[in-house]
Amino acid sequence: MDILQKVAQQTSLPYKSVVNVIKLTEEGATIPFLARYRKEVTGQLDEVDIAKIVDSKKDLDSLEERKQTIIAAITESGLLTDELKQAILKCEDKVVLEDLYLPYKKRKKTRGDIAKDKGLEGLAKLIMAQRSNPLDDAKRFLNADVQSVADAIAGAKDIMAEWVNENPNNREYLRNQYTRFGKITSKVVGTKKEAATDYQDYFEFSEQLIKCPSHRFLAMLRGKEEGFLRVKVDADEELLIHKIQERSVKSSGPAADIIKEAVKDGLQRLLLPSVENAVLSNYKEKADKEAISVFCSNLKQLLLTAPLGSKSVLALDPGFRTGCKLVCLSATADLLHHETIYPNPPQNESVQAGKQLKYLIEKFGIEAIAIGNGTASRETKAFVDQVIEQLNTPVDVFVVSESGASIYSASKTGRDEFPDLDATVRGSISIGRRLMDPLAELVKIDAKSIGVGQYQHDVDQGKLKEGLDQTVIHAVNLVGVDLNTASSHLLQYISGLGPTLAQNIVDYRSKLGAFSKREELLKVPRLGPKAYEQSVGFLRIRAGKSPLDNTGVHPESYELVQQIAKDLGLKTDEIIGKKEVIAKVPLEKYVNDKFGMPTLKDIVKELQMPGHDPRGSAQSFSFSKTVKSSEDLYVGLELPGIVNNITKFGAFVDIGIKENGLLHISEISNTFISDPAEVLKLGQSFTVKIIALDLPRNRINLSLKQVGKPS
């Protein structure tokens, strides 16, 4: 079976699709491009399936490379046999592969190595053969380094213990037993009990490993890393030792007891700790994968939050003592004005602040107000609402997540954009721009700082970054970007570009002015035909020479669209946006070797809705006006909340105070759900009910399914 057949088998995807995807990616095609513009070639696979193919191929290539490295290393030692080589080449599991390599790895000298140096390997082989009396055999191995039978037997046992440890069958059997029947246990470190209150649930905890959810597993490991918990996987050690002894002892002769002792020593000293670590590592890998998947899912939803669009915005970063940092932004997100007002305690200058707010709203034609959701957010929104009631023209007010805004304000990106401004002003600008276009603003911030994941500092950082980067790429290319307004930070995620070409586009635009047609991209330094092919379909020109440049129609299809328009007796711009006209197009007529029905349907969809934003439009939301702090909460209270993080075990809900409430998966729906993401979305708002409070531990338990029911 060749590698591509293995990929098809692993992914359960058609072999032809696998072959085409790998061929095109090796030629430089990106996942977004293949999913959007090569549906006939991929068999209409979406980005998720295409990524599965790419990742599977990468893993298999890595496995093959490791096999060759191991074969070369064993060959160099002079110990490679044809049988061992075939076993390595046929191996399809990276863990089993390392088991095969274990006896031949270079390592520090062990007790078994020392015994071999004393010439006792032959004795160990005789004892394992179980055909003679070990005590008689041992006498033949006495020398200057081995002066007694007891010493000879002890050395032989050290060698046999390592054979037990290195035996691939033993290792695989024990891994299986630990995985299927092992229990993960955690206990508090006695001297740290008072400081370990965050891990109170795990002070004395035990659960079958196979049933332990990833979030609980990662929580215990974090407690262990911080020195508060002792965590291990327990198994029936006596039973496992007995089973391996049974495998090793062939008779009840005089060698049996010695072999049993060697097996017991090998397991207790070497193999069981190694297997426990391997099982923990394997489960950690799975838990990481699930945590990263949840993080990526949340990030995607956040990046695709509905934008307010091109409207003038006044943004407030709320505060008490230091005041509220205020900025006014134009419809194109340019900074028009900034200052600080003090409507909240201790200054309480609400009258003066209100007058200034009204003045700025009128002066800059403010259409919406964005308020950060941090400290003093509730008080600031109440103040703003009072001011808005006095206006003749309605202004929408939005509460915007501040997560990561401080990271942006202190970052090189923030300093480069606004070198002469204070970091707090940059933070306010970020809040306002998040409302206008969340995607364009959030790409400037390290995704880990946005606050929509759990255990992001505990999982494999390389895999986390890879997953988050792919999520950002998917979101940016799904929406598309305005070629004439997008920042380099946004452009770098477009298919086929990257940081260098993105900056080159911005520099070209700054020097020569706005792009009037997509084709001009080919004049950008270092942007060649391949990069153009991969990127151009995801770039929009709002008021260019060709109306098709403001659609997701790829330039390679422009002639086809022109032919369709000609056949209708119209010009190209006369069919764009005309749903009834386009609906009459007989698509079958235009199917050929280059354009199949999937591509034609996509083209029609783009022609019907040019410039369409799949994210929808922003909606305002208000918290309860009577709940100002945790002291106002009580069991049975119903109040509005908004989802700001989703996990496998539930969702965290912002109810307008400092602490978030937990909506456990069991309290979400009256029907069974296996994942909160089945029914909840980030940013979704609804009424929740408080069903339990533990304020000393900042725990607020919520219910969605009990809303409207008597307590």
What domains can be seen in the chain, in order of their start residue?
A: 3-104 (1.10.10.650), 111-295 (1.10.3500.10), 313-436 (3.30.420.140), 499-608 (1.10.150.310), 630-703 (2.40.50.140)
- pLDDT at residue 697 tops 90: no
Q: 433, 329 in Cβ contact below 8 A?
A: yes
Gap between the Cα atoms of 287 and 228, Å rounded: 21
For helices 121-129 and 149-166, the axis angle rounded to 10 degrees is 70
- In angstroms, the first-to-last Cα distance of the chain is 62
| Residue 41 confidence class, pLDDT cut points 50, 70, 90 | very high
- 376-to-302, 325, 384 alpha-carbon distances in Å: 23, 12, 12
pLDDT of residue 627: 87
The reported pTM is 0.87
In terms of pLDDT, which residue wins out, 378 or 114? 114
Q: What percent of the chain has pLDDT over 70?
A: 100
Structure tokens at 601: 């349907």
Token look-up 């407690």 returns 223
Q: 434, 401 in Cβ contact below 8 A?
A: yes
Cβ count near 512 (within 10 Å) = 11
- Predicted confidence (pLDDT) per residue in 288-335, tens digit: 999 999 999 999 999 999 999 899 999 999 999 999 999 999 999 999
pLDDT of residue 612: 83
CA 221 to chain CA centroid, nearest Å? 19
| Residue 626 confidence class, pLDDT cut points 50, 70, 90 | confident
Of 521, 518, 583, 584, nearest to 555 (Cα)? Answer: 518
- Predicted confidence (pLDDT) per residue in 573-624, tens digit: 899 998 888 988 999 999 998 899 999 999 999 999 888 888 888 888 888 8
- Predicted confidence (pLDDT) per residue in 158-210, tens digit: 999 999 999 999 999 999 999 999 999 999 999 999 999 889 999 999 999 99
User: 132-141 long-range CB contacts below 8 Å, 24 or more apart?
Assistant: 132/255, 133/254, 133/255, 134/254, 134/255, 134/258, 135/254
- 593-to-37, 537, 650 alpha-carbon distances in Å: 14, 21, 49
- Predicted confidence (pLDDT) per residue in 454-509, tens digit: 778 889 999 999 999 999 999 999 999 999 999 999 999 999 999 999 999 999 99
pLDDT of residue 623: 85
Q: 675, 648 in Cβ contact below 8 A?
A: yes
| Residue 126 confidence class, pLDDT cut points 50, 70, 90 | very high
Residue 107 makes CB contacts below 8 A (sequence gap 6+) with none
Q: Is 708 exposed, middle or buried (0-12, 13-18, 19+ CB in 10 A)?
A: exposed
Gap between the Cα atoms of 231 and 219, Å rounded: 11
Cβ count near 493 (within 10 Å) = 24
| Residue 30 confidence class, pLDDT cut points 50, 70, 90 | very high
Mean pLDDT of the chain: 93
For 186, the 3-state DSSP assignment is strand
Q: Is 597 exposed, middle or buried (0-12, 13-18, 19+ CB in 10 A)?
A: middle
| Residue 107 confidence class, pLDDT cut points 50, 70, 90 | confident
Structure tokens at 153: 């037997």
Gap between the Cα atoms of 23 and 4, Å rounded: 10
Cβ count near 262 (within 10 Å) = 27
Please provide the DSSP assignment of 407-420 as one string: HHHHSHHHHHH-TT
Main-chain phi, psi angles of 406, to 5 degrees: -70, -30
For 208, the 3-state DSSP assignment is strand
Q: 141, 120 in Cβ contact below 8 A?
A: yes
Q: Which amino acid is at 610?
A: P
pLDDT of residue 695: 86
- 248-to-135, 173, 266 alpha-carbon distances in Å: 19, 13, 12
pLDDT of residue 1: 61
Measured over the CA atoms of residue 358, residue 362, residue 364 and residue 367, the dihedral's sign is positive
| Residue 378 confidence class, pLDDT cut points 50, 70, 90 | confident
pLDDT of residue 454: 76
For 670, the 3-state DSSP assignment is coil
H or E segment and range at residue 39:
helix 39-42
Q: 440, 486 in Cβ contact below 8 A?
A: yes
Provide the β-strand partners of residue 319: none
Cβ count near 402 (within 10 Å) = 21
